[in-house]
Structure 1
Amino acid sequence: MTVAAVAQGTAISVAMDMTEGIISRFRTMSISRASVLTGHVVGSLIQTMIAMVIVVAVALLIGFRTGATPLEWLAAIGVIAMIAFAVIWLSVALGLVSKTVESASNLPMPLTLLPFLGSGFVPTDSMPTGLRWFAEYQPFTPVMETLRGLLTGSEIGNSGLLTAAWSVGIAFLSYLWARKLYNRDPAAR
């Protein structure tokens, strides 16, 4: 949920840049075209990781205990970074496709709701059939299962591989979409 919340801010920031004219100024400067979008992604990824440190600190303060080894903690950080990178690229594309800042704030909203429709709060086995099918095949369920397995010692199964596949797929397609939207004619906006 933290990853999706930061991604919403990224979409808003990108939409603001596109609608307030700063991008037009950047286009006239001799800077790499990729640097503008990459700057948003790197900044948001740093912001996400800081937010995750705060979430983990609060969890530990209120009583969460884990038997995870340093290697498992490192893997958990990697999983969070992977999915954050993918979702941030998606939010950059959503910010670019938005006509207004207000619409950019609404487009990533379903990402915030996806963890509720996954295995984050209840096991998928306890869900009605249609919801269970959706929960088992959406991108956040394998992420949550992988993190749960790494931090609590439960079985991961193929969740790690699915997490990597979802992350790479979302990041790659979102990057291509964002690049296409960014390189289009500014008058087409």
Structure 2
Amino acid sequence: MTASTVTAPRTLSRRVSPVATLRHTATLAWRSLVQIKHNPMELIDLSIQPIMFVLLFTYVFGGQMAGGHPVQYLQFALPGIIAQNAMFATMNTGFLLNTDLTKGVFDRLRSLPIGRMSPLAGRIVADTVKQAWSMAILLAVGMIIGFRVKTDVVHLVLAFLLLLVFALAFSWIAVLIGVLVSEPDKVMIFGFTTVFPLSFTSSAFARVDTMPGWLQAWVKINPVTHLADATRGLINGGAIASPVLKSLLWAAAIAVVFAPLAVRALRRRV
């Protein structure tokens, strides 16, 4: 009789190298961007809403706010509009993340030999690209109806980078909500009930000294105030160092608090 040996089945390792994780993240980000051609309404939403905001704030509120000169108000308000739109757009990250979770997309991705955080990172990277598109639309429309950049290209690029950094940090709040709620629509409800008051009780659309004293105390520490002032300074000229620093500190604080909470909640759910 001859002895036979049985080879034990190999256990596949789920460890993925950092380089492979980056490659997987880029692939999934590209997937999220390419699917826009199958859902053009998403691109229309990213384009139409910014255009509506610019036109409404300029021609409805501009005359009252600037004594019959709406373009003057546009010069003040457009940086604030861009800042507000950046925060609203982060809710789209939570909305689409919740959609992927409820439809089982994340369950299918987990069965693949990819980085554990690649699906989430890919979603955030893709939405950051969409953010840049929305900001460019806002600036282009503003310039068509009379807005002028009073600094230079370097300062304009720095303003866009600052907005993207802050939006990237703020998106962790949207990610946390997207993981916790049961339906995508609840993410948008959170956006309207939180981002609207946060942006309107800031210097984004009105000067701080025109507000009641009790409100000024909050407005001066509101992160949207610092972001709007920093964007305004980089585009229109004026104070830059202090509002930029405060915006970056707020972005870091938001990311430090909400990123671990969002990642922990996602791991528990999937």
TM-score normalized with structure 1 length: 0.92
Contact 1:3 1:87 in 2 (8 A): no
* 1:111 equivalent in alignment to 2:195: yes
Shift of 1:173: 2.2
**Matched residue, 2:228:** 144
**1:62-95 deviations in Å (ceiling 9; x for gaps):** 1011221222112111111111111222211111
Provide the rounded CA distance (Å) in 1 between the counterparts of 2:115 and 2:241.
42
Shift of 1:44: 0.7
**1:82-138 deviations in Å (ceiling 9; x for gaps):** 111112222111111112222122122212442211001111122112321121111
**Matched residue, 1:87:** 170
- Percent identity among equivalent residues? 25
Provide the rounded CA distance (Å) in 2 between the counterparts of 1:182 and 1:116.
31
- RMSD (CA atoms): 1.5
Deviating above 6 A after TM superposition, structure 1's stretches of 4 or more consecutive aligned residues are none
- Greater CA drift, 47-56 or 58-67: 58-67
**1:144-187 deviations in Å (ceiling 9; x for gaps):** 0011111111223511110010111112322211110111154x
**Match among 93, 98, 122 for residue 206 of structure 2:** 122
State the SS of the aligned residue for 1:158.
helix
Q: 1:157 to 1:29 in 2, by over 3 A?
A: closer
If asked which structure has higher relative contact order (CA below 8 Å, sep 6+), I would say 1
**Matched residue, 1:64:** 147
Provide the rounded CA distance (Å) in 1 between the counterparts of 2:112 and 2:172.
24
**Matched residue, 1:176:** 260
**Match among 204, 212, 216 for residue 132 of structure 1:** 216
Provide the rounded CA distance (Å) in 2 between the counterparts of 1:176 and 1:115.
25
Rg larger for: 2
**1:4-43 deviations in Å (ceiling 9; x for gaps):** 2211211111111111111122222221111111011101
User: Unmatched 5+ residue regions in structure 1?
Assistant: none
Q: How does 1:159-174 map to 2 (within 5 A)?
A: 159-174=243-258
Provide the rounded CA distance (Å) in 1 between the counterparts of 2:265 and 2:109.
15
